[in-house]
């Protein structure tokens, strides 16, 4: 890793979690420039939101979801 990158990483890690999340989203957006992919993700997000709002699916707490995934992977 270059020195400049190490310095930048150290500075970023001092940001609040919310600011790091915002920066992360902006960095990903700067890499993902395929509009077809972006549109597909937006449609998927809308579909999932509709499923939640209609009651077709139920939200699961993050820790519970991770525990379920780990259990499946360990089978």
pLDDT higher for 6 or 38? 6
User: Rounded distance, CA 10 to CA 15, Å?
Assistant: 9
Distance in angstroms (rounded) separating the CA atoms of residues 30 and 20:
15
Mean per-residue pLDDT for 15-30?
92
What is the tens place of the pLDDT at every residue in 27-67?
A: 988 886 788 888 999 999 999 999 999 999 999 999 999 99
Domain count of the fold of the chain: 1
Q: How far from chain centre, in Å, is Cα 1?
A: 24
d(CA 36, CA 41): 9
Its domain, for residue 21, covers: 3-73
Quickly state the pLDDT bin for 22 (edges 50, 70, 90): very high
């Amino acid at each position: 890793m270059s020195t400049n990158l190490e310095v930048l990483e150290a500075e970023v890690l001092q940001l609040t979690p919310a600011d790091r999340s915002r920066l992360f989203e902006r960095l990903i957006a700067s890499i993902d420039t395929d509009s077809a992919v972006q549109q597909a993700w937006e449609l998927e997000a809308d579909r999932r939101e509709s499923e939640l709002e209609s009651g077709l699916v139920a939200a699961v707490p993050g820790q519970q979801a991770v525990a379920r995934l780990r259990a499946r992977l360990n089978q």
